[in-house]
Amino acid sequence: MTLTLTGGRLIDGTGADPVERATIALEGDRIAAISGSAKNRDGDIIDCAGLTVLPGLIDAHAHLGLVFDFGGDPGAMSPAEIAAQTFRNCELCLDAGFTTVRDMCGVDGGLVRALASGLVRGPRVYPSGPAIVQTGGHGHINGPFCFDDHYVAIPGLVQLTAICDGADQVRRQARLNFRRGATQLKAFISGGVVSTTDRLEDTQLTVEELRAAVLEARARETYVAGHAHNNQAIRNGLEAGLECFEHGTMLDEATAAAMARANAALDPTLAVTQLLAQNWKEWKLPESVVPRIAGCERMMEEAMRIARAAGVLIGSGSDLLGTEQNRRGLELTLQARVLGAMEAIVCATSSNARIMHQEKLFGSIEAGKLADIIAINGDPLAQPELFDDPSRVVLVIQGGKTVKNLL
């Protein structure tokens, strides 16, 4: 099957200047050619005049399956309801122009199979499975005075975290995650914003424990990403061999330089930071987390500036939670305020693909890559807030298939 897009303003995801009235020819699931004439081409033609054409967006920090009530009993929601809400989030994600996500704790390979079957509309998912956490660390979600640990664990659908103490337990959980379809691993290596029994300044999991996860990942030719708010946590992760750090809220110049030397990436998550500050009551979070949230967005913005100055690869992740994840594009809007709109687009396309080791497959509009392409009604370089309005995403093509068309 052939499809040609004509007349749109092309932003290809590499940071190159836009191309006016571009022609993009698709063959099957791939991009066949860019520019040139649309005349004499077989197949369908979509007129994109007046639209901005971009690569399918990538969310490198998604939680499609974290839909249960964090303020109550997580076991009160049935597996059927969790599945239904997860599928709903998949649809919202795709319709917002995100054709790929890296799920950073939650869903496993079961969701990947459901999406591949065509029974569920949604993005291409690279799952981490449950995050590896220590006893008493971020992600140990039940109350500190509970006698037993209890958490939602539905193999084939979702599990938030797995509590591991010691390298052997980490190694076993890493192997189990991969058995259930993980494409990379996630570890919580510092305290978290919504934690109640730790601080953002705490480090979690030892270098030895983290190294066990790294060795298992390397055996699968993949990598480990670490949730890290403070610098010592990042340095522990670098010593163990982690390749990507989520949040990086307190990043300083020396640690950024160490990340650059190690070719480690930073994946900021501004959207959830802003939304937590606004919606903590609605999301039923304890009031005790409010002081932690205050100032996080500003610190994360500064961390991005420091990382850019050091030459660190910067990605883009929303970190959205809950049942109606409809603000995924807010991350680009907020990043654009710090980095500029073009760089924010690069972070959410080709840079995220590099972080995920998938830059040869997608992330930019180039001949030979997967035909993941979106069209936006308007100019996101002048108005990056358009990314936060899914109705402005009027065309979504994923792997050569038109999955949304409002034209």
Q: Return per-residue pLDDT of the chain as tens, 407 residues.
A: 799 999 999 999 999 999 999 999 999 999 999 985 555 566 899 999 999 999 999 999 999 999 987 666 777 889 999 999 999 999 999 999 999 999 999 999 999 999 999 999 999 999 999 999 999 998 887 777 776 676 789 999 999 999 999 999 999 999 999 999 999 999 999 999 888 788 999 999 999 999 999 999 999 999 999 999 999 999 999 999 999 999 999 999 999 999 999 999 999 999 999 998 888 887 777 787 788 888 899 999 999 999 999 999 999 999 999 999 999 999 999 999 999 999 999 999 999 999 999 999 999 999 999 999 999 999 999 999 999 999 999 999 999 999 999 99
* Same domain assignment for residues 382 and 315: no
Ramachandran angles phi, psi of 112, nearest 5° = -55, -45
* Same domain assignment for residues 202 and 131: yes
Q: Is residue 337 part of a domain?
A: no
DSSP assignment string, 165-185: -SHHHHHHHHHHHHHTT-SSE
* Same domain assignment for residues 33 and 61: no
Q: Which two structure tokens, joined as six digits, stand for 188?
A: 């919580």
CA distances from 108 to 85, 118, 130, 159, 295 (A): 15, 17, 8, 8, 33
Domain residues for the domain of 22 are 2-55+363-405
* Same domain assignment for residues 49 and 68: no
Number of domains in the chain: 2
* Same domain assignment for residues 47 and 154: no
State the sign of the Cα–Cα–Cα–Cα dihedral 359, 406, 95, 16. positive
Q: Is residue 47 part of a domain?
A: yes
* Same domain assignment for residues 28 and 124: no
Q: Is residue 61 part of a domain?
A: yes
CA distances from 12 to 15, 118, 248, 390 (A): 7, 28, 28, 20
Q: Is residue 342 part of a domain?
A: no
Q: Are 330 and 275 in contact (CB under 8 A)?
A: yes
* Same domain assignment for residues 238 and 307: yes
CATH number of the domain bearing residue 385: 2.30.40.10
Q: Is residue 19 part of a domain?
A: yes
How many whole angstroms separate alpha carbon 95 and alpha carbon 32?
A: 24
Place of tokens 């839909």: 67
* Same domain assignment for residues 138 and 269: yes
* Same domain assignment for residues 280 and 395: no
Q: Is residue 345 part of a domain?
A: no
* Same domain assignment for residues 143 and 78: yes
* Same domain assignment for residues 187 and 228: yes
